[in-house]
Structure 1
């Protein structure tokens, strides 16, 4: 294996070594606590892999509890893992934030309502336990990319998701959406205008009432927490369209979001750019959370 590694082109080998060294440098200021179960093992629905989260906390002591950011990954509601996004946890921790990266169940094993419930249960766990890791449960923010952005927006706008888990009020203080998908699957699935759209019936099912119930577009109110929204200039047309409609709805309700289109960015690079600590998305996120 080492021999094969040394046969890599010199430029690529140097790049990998630099990335590796950078990851070590970023990891040092943070402390990762991995694979914490946010659903009790005694729960009949407990999934030993998907009902887990990782906490990334700064090693440095702070005079007061730190803001908390919970990140929800994307993957078309059928794939993805918290393990792919450790770089986000490390970079947030390095910048004074307690970061939580979660798994949730995926289709075809469950539909999106169960995924939303998983994310709500993970958030409720954070409210109850994050003080043990130096985080402030009163300063809890969400961040999500793609399908994870849609789920984050749903949690921020649908208080009923938390009421069923004993929280009298929505604990989310603000949400950053990174090229979000699923803001209005009711509209999207009624149209079925793009090739392959039938694939989304696997996570969303065939009931239009479910599509609407899972669409943040119809839950957002004037009382919803602030939003920061980033959209790629070359992302999928459906994401551009639904993000703009969500923005317009927020403006109608009296609290226009911070909305930025990043020229030239496609969908996947919108999350990969978070490898760089001083990326514009981190800068706006840190302003929102007050880190």
Structure 2
């Protein structure tokens, strides 16, 4: 009963902060930590700006073979969020055996599209060059994100303009409740971030998805009323039409925040999000010659 009350309290707190995926530092401080991981580097610069910083999480087990790297981009309507609020995600993935990087990026209204995608690309280039310092394999990187962060991860995965040759290091895309097909811009968040663009189609992952893209795992909750499931369905269809290996998972009754909440220790019983993500990463890491411990 006590554990149930604690979970209910944490869920309420999470929801109050995350209704628009805003900073979750208070929730992160209270949620039980994954003991098999640790924060190994904090506030590392991948660019000159104050929001161009990242944190690195790693398994506590000794380093043998280089480990796959996950770069996780948080959501927040491209206008809010801090990496400190998502340490629970970094620790959860690192405890599964992956070196995990959580970057900040510039936000609206300071910037608009494509600045946050450019920051994501700069963070990924940093990872490919520096992951080895933390027992990560910079040649085996999976891009992952939630909501607006899933958009950034998707654009970097399917649109070759951003990463150039570095895109060869991207071995998979994991999107949680991501907006991939949301033009025209008919809500305040998308208008603020993309409203100045002359060609809305140019900003959409579905426009760019096709042959040669990395394998993808697209996850959503059937109860999501913030980013409609049709976004994942549209990107899945476009990738499959291009011959790309893509898995789609729908979690019954899970909402926009709940799919992220399921990564935190007290809420993993709600849906096997962490297990599904980990299995996808392991499968694709193995297929690219990386041996997991």
The question of a shared fold, defined as TM-score above 0.5 by the shorter chain, is answered with yes
Mean CA deviation greater in 277-286 or 29-38:
277-286
The match for 1:254 is: 243
Question: What SS does structure 1 have at the residue aligned with 2:184?
Answer: helix
Separation (CA, whole Å) in 1 of partners of 2:106 and 2:156: 16
Q: Give the TM-score of the pair, scaled to structure 2.
A: 0.81
Residues 72 and 101 in structure 1, CA contact (< 8 A), matched pair in contact too: yes
- Structure exhibiting the larger radius of gyration computed from Cα positions: 1
Note if 1:283 corresponds to 2:275.
yes
The equivalent residue for 1:92 is 93
Matched, 1:102 2:94: no
Offset of 1:105 from its aligned partner? 0.2
1:204 is matched with which residue?
A: 194
Determine the structure 2 residue equivalent to 1:55: 56
Return closer, same or farther for 1:33/1:248 CA change in 2, 3 Å cut-off: same
Change (3 A) 1:135 1:13: closer
Offset at residue 184 of structure 1 (A): 2.2
Tell me if the contact between 2:221 and 2:256 (Cα under 8 Å) persists in the aligned partners. yes
Normalised TM-score (structure 1):
0.82
Contact 2:141 2:169 in 1 (8 A): yes
| Counterpart check, 1:215 vs 2:207 | no
CA shift in 2, pair 1:247/1:275, >3 Å: same
CA contact (8 A) 2:36 2:61 kept: no
2:43 is matched with which residue? 35
Structure 1 gaps, min length 5: 1-10, 40-45
> How is 1:19-34 mapped onto 2 (pairs within 5 angstroms)?
23-24=32-33, 26-27=34-35, 29-34=37-42
Q: Spell out the pairing of 1:1-291 with structure 2 (5 A cutoff).
A: 12=6, 23-24=32-33, 26-27=34-35, 29-39=37-47, 46-48=48-50, 50-163=51-164, 167=165, 169-181=167-179, 183-185=180-182, 187-189=183-185, 192=186, 197-209=187-199, 211-236=200-225, 238-276=227-265, 280-290=272-282, 291=292
Deviation at 1:91, TM superposition (A): 1.2
Q: What SS is found at the alignment partner of 1:23?
A: coil
Any conservation in 2 of the 1:77–1:112 contact (CA below 8 Å)?
no
State how far apart, in whole Å, the 1-side matches of 2:133 and 2:80 are: 30
* Paired residues, number: 260
Return closer, same or farther for 1:105/1:111 CA change in 2, 3 Å cut-off.
Answer: same
1:57 and 1:93 in contact (8 A); partners too: yes
CA contact (8 A) 1:71 1:144 kept: yes
What's the CA shift for 1:152?
A: 0.6
**CA–CA separation in structure 2 for the residues paired with 1:82 and 1:168:** 23
> 1:13 deviation in Å?
11
- 1:143-167 CA-to-partner distances (Å, cap 9, x unmatched) read 100001111100001122013xxx4
